[in-house]
Amino acid sequence: MEITIERGALWVLQSRSAKRSARAAARIAVEMHEEGTLGRREALSRIEPSSLRQLLTPRLPDPQQLAEQGLSPVARGLAASPGAATGQIVFDAEAAQRAAAGEELILVRAETSAEDVETMRMVHGILTAAGWLTSHAAVVARAIGKPCVTGATSLHVDYGRRTVVARSPQFAGLELPEGSVITIDGARGLVYAA
């Protein structure tokens, strides 16, 4: 809102709707309801239905907070699909069948293809060493609502040894065999090893 005071009179020059994130809109609605300013129904109507997915997506703390706890990313890639997921590394559909038994799994591939779609649906998150924001993994992950990091080029996926090898200077030689627990931050493109 832009205002001015001229000769003791208040004049509104222009105004527009405030822009705010889905999280801010929800917080404001909750606070107004708790203060008694808004009824429950009106508070709920202040939250856009399209923003619910964003509000319900798991998130990691800020990377600075994680660093203060001694956690540094072992790899960086592209933030291909928002959300955070922690699980055991799996490389293929056979291993991903464990997801049906309730295990939390992260599919790790050099790249994904159409043959991986069903596996991608079963796991909690997707990580690829190659790819871009428009790559197969990114597009499918966004469509099915799974956290995804693509283009983590400092990682080498060795299918023969069933391991992921970090090649970044800080973590050179770090090997993560299948079953190792990792966390991906699809909103920031970061990968953490447990």
Last residue of a domain, one of 36, 56, 76: 56
> Would you state the pLDDT for residue 62?
85
How many structural domains comprise the chain?
2
My answer on whether 43 and 68 are in the same domain is no
Task: Output the pTM of the full model.
Answer: 0.75
My answer on whether 38 and 68 are in the same domain is no
Q: What is the mean pLDDT of the chain?
A: 89
My answer on whether 81 and 160 are in the same domain is yes
My answer on whether 175 and 157 are in the same domain is yes
Give the integer Cα–Cα distance in Å for 79 and 159: 24
My answer on whether 79 and 150 are in the same domain is yes
Q: What's 45's DSSP letter?
A: H
pLDDT in tens, 1-24: 888 999 998 988 888 777 777 778
Last residue of a domain, one of 41, 56, 71: 56
My answer on whether 47 and 88 are in the same domain is no
Q: What's 99's DSSP letter?
A: G
> Would you state the pLDDT for residue 175?
94
Give the integer Cα–Cα distance in Å for 69 and 65: 7
My answer on whether 28 and 75 are in the same domain is no
My answer on whether 26 and 84 are in the same domain is no
E strands in the chain: 2-6, 9-14, 75-76, 78-81, 84-90, 105-109, 125-128, 148-150, 155-158, 163-166, 175-177, 181-185, 190-193
Percent of the chain with pLDDT over 90: 58
pLDDT in tens, 31-46: 999 999 999 999 888 8
My answer on whether 163 and 118 are in the same domain is yes
Q: 32: domain range? A: 2-56
Cβ neighbours, 10 Å, residue 97: 14
Does the pLDDT value for residue 61 go beyond 90? no
Is 133 exposed, middle or buried, given 0-12, 13-18 or 19+ CB atoms closer than 10 A? middle
List the single range of 14-18, 37-41, 61-65, 83-87 with lowest mean pLDDT. Answer: 14-18
Q: What is the CATH classification number for the domain harbouring 22?
A: 1.10.189
Give the integer Cα–Cα distance in Å for 161 and 149: 22
Q: Which two tokens stand for residue 100?
A: 């049906």
Last residue of a domain, one of 34, 56, 78: 56
Q: What is the CATH classification number for the domain harbouring 153?
A: 3.50.30.10
Q: Which two tokens stand for residue 156?
A: 């080498």
